[in-house]
Amino acid sequence: MIEALLLALLVQTPPLGAQLEALVDLATPQERQARALELAASKETSLEDWLAAMRAFGRFEKSEAGAKVEKVPLLCDGKLEETELQLHIPPNYDPARPAPLICAFHGTGGSGREMVELWHALADALGALVLAPSDPGKNDGYGWTQRERDGALEALRWMRRHYDVDEHRIYATGISRGGHLAWDLALRHPDLFAALAPQIGGPRLAIVRGQNNMRLLENLVPLPIRDLQGAQDDEVLVESLHVAFARLAKFGAQDALLKEFPKLGHSFEFDAVDWKSFLGGAVRPSAPEHVVRCSARLGEARSFWIEITGFEKEVSEEFQPIIPVNEWKALDAAGQRARMLKEAEKRTARLEAKFEGPGKFTLVGSGVTSFRLLLSSERLGPQNKLSLKWQGKSRAPQTVVLDKKVALEDFAECFDRSWIPVAEYRGP
């Protein structure tokens, strides 16, 4: 009898919080998805139990204030890279209270230590953590590679697992190479950050190796942005920033500002922005009622509660446009870049979605063959009804099914405690 009781204790299922931690800490998305499906298949735990555990997710330890260095293996483009993370912990950090986080990316030849030195005083004033990874690669400029993007995103994931980070107050900044990286991350993952604050870096107009992220600018319309740039810097970078901010204004951005310094080259004046006011007032919404997502890469086409899951055949991140030679030669360098941007836009998918009220959504798209909506319980109509209008045509109302799988798969990737989907709609 005693042996049976001991055996039962040994095989007892871990608490839900521990199971979620083990799920989130699996190394790859494929492993996390497989485990999420296993957990969802168990009949022992209800959706309500999982939701309660997700909202209470995270066990964090106290940490001594000041600078810290961590050496962490990060999965970057399928390979583990030992990466140095420079951190700063504010004096009032409380592991039981979510704190803002400044993600700061260094310039060419630099390291995370320099970024911590730049931001630590402001971080203390905001009660914010600082994460500043040192790129383990060649460190000879931003290469616009998946390895670099993965390294930054994996560093952020590590930070959120080891410190109590407020999902609504994560800020991206960086200098030169790091400024390019900050822009690139925000353009491709617009629902991660509450504000963007790059210096002497910008979005790109080139089309080689999928570098034209200027085509994704509409993703950032709601995001507060402050960019500091010397006017005498590289003329292509300066022109690209002028184009970017003009386009943001055209799209309706209300809080995007380029601060240019007429006498400076590859430099800036850090104190030109009231950073405490700017970052302190920037909060990411959990689930905005209106979302636009532009993308040319599947698997990187989600924003908040919408995701493009299928592209029309002309959508492509890398392409070779066919332009008549005489027409091309008649354009100056700026005109050629503008023409390439138009060609990129033709090959970019766009999905726009509006939440009209409980269970009611309106969507329009171009370059989109399929999509999915992630639905929280608050967004569903009575009896979990869903009414959808797609491309101006109303669909017959239908009932969606609450599903543990949807919640667990999403939490495995995002582990967002503030907004958890419980159902999905795949269309059109």
pLDDT at 239: 93
Domain stops at, among 235, 258, 280:
280
The tally of domains found in the chain comes to: 2
Domain stops at, among 280, 305, 322:
280
Q: Are residues 101 and 226 in the same domain?
A: yes
pLDDT tens digit sequence for 339-376: 888 999 999 999 999 999 999 999 999 999 999 999 99
Q: Are residues 260 and 318 in the same domain?
A: no
H, E, C per residue of the chain: CHHHHHHHHHCCCCCHHHHHHHHHCCCCHHHHHHHHHHHHHCCCCCHHHHHHHHHCCCCCCCCCCEEEEEEEEEEECCEEEEEEEEEEECCCCCCCCCEEEEEEECCCCCCHHHHHHHHHHHHHHHCCEEEEEECCCCCCCCCCCHHHHHHHHHHHHHHHHHCCEEEEEEEEEEECHHHHHHHHHHHHCCCCCCEEEEECCCCCCCCHHHCCCHHHHHHHCCCCEEEEEECCCCHHHHHHHHHHHHHHHHHCCCCEEEEEECCCCCCCCHHHCCHHHHHHCCCCCCCCCEEEEEECCCCCCEECCEEEEEECCCCCCCCCCCCCHHHHHCCCHHHHHHHHHHHHHHCCEEEEEEEEECCEEEEEEECEEEEEEEECHHHCCHHHEEEEEECCEECCCEECCCCHHHHHHHHHHHCCCCCCCCEEEEEC
CATH, residue 241 = 3.40.50.1820
Query: Any idea which residue has 């990874």 for tokens?
Result: 133
pTM: predicted TM-score of the whole model, two decimal places: 0.94
Determine the average pLDDT of the residues in 79-102. Answer: 97
Task: Tell me: pLDDT of 4 over 50.
Answer: no
Domain stops at, among 258, 280, 302:
280
pLDDT tens digit sequence for 199-239: 999 999 876 666 889 999 999 999 999 999 999 999 999 99
Determine the average pLDDT of the residues in 109-130. Answer: 97
Domain limits for position 319: 290-427
Task: Tell me: pLDDT of 327 over 80.
Answer: yes
- Write the CA distances from 107 to 19, 75, 118, 252, integer angstroms: 39, 22, 12, 31
Using 50, 70 and 90 to split pLDDT, how confident is the model at 12? low
Q: Are residues 143 and 247 in the same domain?
A: yes
Q: Are residues 120 and 263 in the same domain?
A: yes
pLDDT at 3: 55
pLDDT tens digit sequence for 164-201: 999 999 999 999 999 999 999 999 999 999 999 999 99
pLDDT tens digit sequence for 140-160: 899 999 999 999 999 999 999
